[in-house]
Amino acid sequence: MATQYQNLSEYDPEMIPDASGMRFAIVVSEWNSEITDKLRGGAYDTLIKLGAKPENIQVAYVPGSFELVYAAKRIVGSIKPHAVIGLGCVIRGDTPHFDYVCSGVTQGFTQLNAEGDIPYIFGLLTTDNRQQAIDRAGGKYGNKGDECAIAAIKMAHFACVFK
- Cα separation of 53 and 157, whole Å? 16
State the DSSP H helix or E strand holding residue 134, giving kind and residue range, or none if neither: helix 130-136
- Of 89, 75, 80, residue with least CA distance to 123: 89
Residues with Cβ within 8 Å of residue 161, at least 6 apart in sequence? none
Let me know if 82 is a catalytic residue. Answer: no
Of the candidates 49, 74, 80, 97, the residue annotated as catalytic is: 97
Burial class (CB in 10 A: 0-12, 13-18, 19+), 141: buried
Phi, psi for 75 (deg, rounded to 5): -65, -25
Would you say 92 and 98 are in contact if contact means Cβ atoms under 8 Å apart?
yes
Cα dihedral across residues 47, 86, 10, 139: positive or negative: positive
Instruction: Please list the active-site residues.
Output: 97
